[in-house]
Amino acid sequence: MAGRSIPQSYDGAQRAFHWVMAALILLAIVIGVTASFLPPRTSPRVELLTLHKSLGMSVLILGVVRLFYRAVAGAPPYAVALAPLTRAASSAAHFALYALMIALPVSGYVNSAAGGHELSWFGLFAWPNFAPQDKALAHSAGQAHYWLAWTIGAFLALHVAGAAWHAWVRHDEIFARMWPGRAALVGQTERG
Protein backbone atom coordinates (compact mmCIF):
# COMPACT_ATOMS: atom_id res chain seq x y z
CA MET A 1 0.00 0.00 0.00
CA ALA A 2 1.33 3.43 -0.90
CA GLY A 3 2.59 5.65 1.90
CA ARG A 4 1.29 9.11 2.59
CA SER A 5 3.35 12.19 3.33
CA ILE A 6 3.46 13.40 6.92
CA PRO A 7 2.85 17.16 7.36
CA GLN A 8 5.66 18.85 9.28
CA SER A 9 3.76 22.13 9.68
CA TYR A 10 1.03 22.90 12.17
CA ASP A 11 -2.46 22.63 10.75
CA GLY A 12 -4.41 25.72 9.72
CA ALA A 13 -6.38 25.89 12.98
CA GLN A 14 -3.23 25.84 15.13
CA ARG A 15 -1.60 28.49 12.95
CA ALA A 16 -4.74 30.64 13.15
CA PHE A 17 -4.77 30.31 16.97
CA HIS A 18 -1.10 31.26 17.07
CA TRP A 19 -1.27 34.36 14.89
CA VAL A 20 -4.65 35.66 16.13
CA MET A 21 -3.55 35.26 19.73
CA ALA A 22 -0.18 36.85 18.99
CA ALA A 23 -1.95 39.90 17.56
CA LEU A 24 -4.41 40.08 20.48
CA ILE A 25 -1.66 39.74 23.08
CA LEU A 26 0.57 42.38 21.48
CA LEU A 27 -2.37 44.75 21.07
CA ALA A 28 -3.42 44.20 24.70
CA ILE A 29 0.14 44.91 25.89
CA VAL A 30 0.42 48.12 23.84
CA ILE A 31 -3.00 49.33 25.01
CA GLY A 32 -2.29 48.43 28.65
CA VAL A 33 1.07 50.22 28.64
CA THR A 34 -0.45 53.26 26.92
CA ALA A 35 -3.31 53.41 29.46
CA SER A 36 -0.87 53.19 32.37
CA PHE A 37 0.57 56.58 31.40
CA LEU A 38 -2.82 58.32 31.44
CA PRO A 39 -4.51 59.81 34.52
CA PRO A 40 -6.86 57.39 36.35
CA ARG A 41 -10.62 57.56 35.73
CA THR A 42 -10.25 59.84 32.69
CA SER A 43 -10.95 59.47 29.01
CA PRO A 44 -9.37 57.83 27.00
CA ARG A 45 -7.80 55.70 29.80
CA VAL A 46 -11.18 54.23 30.79
CA GLU A 47 -12.00 53.28 27.20
CA LEU A 48 -8.51 51.88 26.61
CA LEU A 49 -8.71 49.72 29.74
CA THR A 50 -12.14 48.44 28.70
CA LEU A 51 -10.64 47.42 25.34
CA HIS A 52 -7.58 45.97 27.13
CA LYS A 53 -9.83 43.83 29.35
CA SER A 54 -11.89 42.67 26.36
CA LEU A 55 -8.74 41.60 24.54
CA GLY A 56 -7.45 39.87 27.67
CA MET A 57 -10.64 37.87 28.16
CA SER A 58 -10.56 36.94 24.47
CA VAL A 59 -7.00 35.65 24.96
CA LEU A 60 -8.14 33.65 27.99
CA ILE A 61 -11.01 31.96 26.14
CA LEU A 62 -8.95 31.34 23.00
CA GLY A 63 -6.05 30.09 25.13
CA VAL A 64 -8.22 27.46 26.81
CA VAL A 65 -9.70 26.36 23.45
CA ARG A 66 -6.19 26.33 21.94
CA LEU A 67 -4.87 24.09 24.73
CA PHE A 68 -7.68 21.60 24.21
CA TYR A 69 -7.18 21.64 20.44
CA ARG A 70 -3.42 21.18 20.85
CA ALA A 71 -4.01 18.24 23.19
CA VAL A 72 -6.19 16.58 20.55
CA ALA A 73 -4.28 17.53 17.39
CA GLY A 74 -0.77 17.36 18.80
CA ALA A 75 2.30 18.84 17.17
CA PRO A 76 3.69 17.77 13.80
CA PRO A 77 6.96 15.83 13.71
CA TYR A 78 10.21 17.65 13.02
CA ALA A 79 11.97 16.99 9.72
CA VAL A 80 15.20 16.73 11.72
CA ALA A 81 15.05 16.00 15.45
CA LEU A 82 16.04 18.86 17.73
CA ALA A 83 19.08 18.51 19.96
CA PRO A 84 18.04 17.50 23.49
CA LEU A 85 18.94 20.88 25.03
CA THR A 86 17.13 22.78 22.26
CA ARG A 87 14.10 20.52 22.63
CA ALA A 88 14.04 21.04 26.43
CA ALA A 89 14.37 24.82 26.08
CA SER A 90 11.63 24.90 23.45
CA SER A 91 9.28 22.80 25.57
CA ALA A 92 9.90 24.90 28.70
CA ALA A 93 9.38 28.17 26.82
CA HIS A 94 6.15 26.94 25.20
CA PHE A 95 4.84 25.67 28.55
CA ALA A 96 5.62 29.08 30.10
CA LEU A 97 3.88 30.93 27.26
CA TYR A 98 0.74 28.78 27.55
CA ALA A 99 0.70 29.25 31.35
CA LEU A 100 1.13 33.02 30.95
CA MET A 101 -1.66 33.18 28.33
CA ILE A 102 -3.96 31.86 31.05
CA ALA A 103 -2.48 33.45 34.20
CA LEU A 104 -2.19 36.99 32.83
CA PRO A 105 -5.88 37.41 31.91
CA VAL A 106 -6.97 35.62 35.10
CA SER A 107 -4.93 38.05 37.23
CA GLY A 108 -6.41 40.96 35.28
CA TYR A 109 -9.91 39.58 35.77
CA VAL A 110 -9.39 39.19 39.54
CA ASN A 111 -7.87 42.68 39.76
CA SER A 112 -10.91 44.22 38.06
CA ALA A 113 -13.55 42.07 39.72
CA ALA A 114 -12.13 42.42 43.24
CA GLY A 115 -11.70 46.14 42.61
CA GLY A 116 -15.41 46.47 41.81
CA HIS A 117 -14.86 47.35 38.15
CA GLU A 118 -17.19 46.20 35.39
CA LEU A 119 -15.85 43.50 33.09
CA SER A 120 -17.43 44.36 29.76
CA TRP A 121 -16.56 42.39 26.64
CA PHE A 122 -16.40 44.93 23.81
CA GLY A 123 -19.58 46.53 25.22
CA LEU A 124 -21.65 43.48 24.27
CA PHE A 125 -22.06 41.93 27.72
CA ALA A 126 -20.48 41.93 31.17
CA TRP A 127 -18.60 38.89 32.44
CA PRO A 128 -19.93 37.52 35.70
CA ASN A 129 -18.01 38.55 38.79
CA PHE A 130 -16.69 35.50 40.65
CA ALA A 131 -14.31 37.42 42.93
CA PRO A 132 -15.39 39.16 46.13
CA GLN A 133 -14.86 42.91 46.28
CA ASP A 134 -11.66 43.14 48.28
CA LYS A 135 -9.08 45.93 47.97
CA ALA A 136 -6.23 43.74 49.21
CA LEU A 137 -7.11 40.99 46.71
CA ALA A 138 -7.44 43.56 43.91
CA HIS A 139 -4.03 45.02 44.83
CA SER A 140 -2.36 41.59 44.92
CA ALA A 141 -3.93 40.58 41.61
CA GLY A 142 -2.88 43.93 40.12
CA GLN A 143 0.71 43.34 41.22
CA ALA A 144 0.62 39.81 39.80
CA HIS A 145 -0.81 41.18 36.54
CA TYR A 146 1.97 43.78 36.33
CA TRP A 147 4.77 41.26 36.84
CA LEU A 148 3.16 38.61 34.64
CA ALA A 149 2.95 41.22 31.87
CA TRP A 150 6.69 41.85 32.14
CA THR A 151 7.27 38.10 32.20
CA ILE A 152 5.20 37.41 29.09
CA GLY A 153 7.00 40.30 27.38
CA ALA A 154 10.35 38.64 28.14
CA PHE A 155 9.14 35.22 26.97
CA LEU A 156 7.68 36.72 23.78
CA ALA A 157 11.01 38.40 23.07
CA LEU A 158 12.77 35.05 23.57
CA HIS A 159 10.18 33.33 21.37
CA VAL A 160 10.68 35.83 18.55
CA ALA A 161 14.47 35.62 18.96
CA GLY A 162 14.29 31.83 18.76
CA ALA A 163 12.12 31.95 15.64
CA ALA A 164 14.53 34.45 14.04
CA TRP A 165 17.50 32.25 14.97
CA HIS A 166 15.87 29.24 13.32
CA ALA A 167 14.86 31.22 10.21
CA TRP A 168 17.98 33.31 9.61
CA VAL A 169 20.85 31.53 11.36
CA ARG A 170 19.98 27.83 11.33
CA HIS A 171 17.95 28.01 8.10
CA ASP A 172 15.86 25.05 9.28
CA GLU A 173 12.12 24.39 9.00
CA ILE A 174 11.18 25.37 12.57
CA PHE A 175 9.93 28.88 11.68
CA ALA A 176 8.06 27.58 8.63
CA ARG A 177 6.11 25.11 10.82
CA MET A 178 3.95 27.98 12.12
CA TRP A 179 4.19 30.44 9.23
CA PRO A 180 0.93 30.82 7.26
CA GLY A 181 0.91 29.07 3.91
CA ARG A 182 0.86 25.60 2.52
CA ALA A 183 2.12 22.79 4.69
CA ALA A 184 5.55 21.37 4.01
CA LEU A 185 5.92 17.61 4.11
CA VAL A 186 8.47 15.43 5.80
CA GLY A 187 10.61 13.60 3.25
CA GLN A 188 9.60 10.21 4.61
CA THR A 189 6.18 8.67 4.39
CA GLU A 190 3.99 6.95 6.90
CA ARG A 191 2.80 3.51 5.91
CA GLY A 192 -0.96 2.96 6.28
**pLDDT value for 8:** 81
Res 1 pLDDT > 60: no
**pLDDT value for 176:** 86
User: Any idea where the domains of the chain sit in the sequence?
Assistant: 4-176
**pLDDT value for 188:** 41
pLDDT tens profile 94-127: 999 999 999 999 999 999 999 999 899 999 999 9
What's the rounded mean pLDDT across residues 52-67?
98
Whether CATH 3.40.50.300 fits 4-176: no
**pLDDT value for 7:** 61
Q: Which among 162, 160, 111, 170 is positioned nearest to 140, based on CA atoms?
A: 111
What's the rounded mean pLDDT across residues 56-83?
93
SS3 7: strand
Res 2 pLDDT > 70: no
What's the rounded mean pLDDT across residues 36-45?
95
**pLDDT value for 190:** 40
Indicate the average pLDDT of the chain.
90
Q: Which residue has the higher pLDDT, 77 or 42?
A: 42
Q: Which residue has the higher pLDDT, 23 or 80?
A: 23
Res 4 pLDDT > 70: no
Q: Residue 103 and residue 96: Cα distance in Å, rounded?
A: 10
Cβ-defined contacts of 149-158 (< 8 Å, 24+):
149/29, 149/32, 149/104, 151/100, 152/25, 152/29, 152/97, 152/100, 152/101, 152/104, 153/29, 155/93, 155/96, 155/97, 155/100, 156/25, 156/26, 156/97, 158/93
Which stretch of 62-71, 134-143, 170-179 has the lowest confidence by average pLDDT? Answer: 170-179
What's the rounded mean pLDDT across residues 159-187?
80
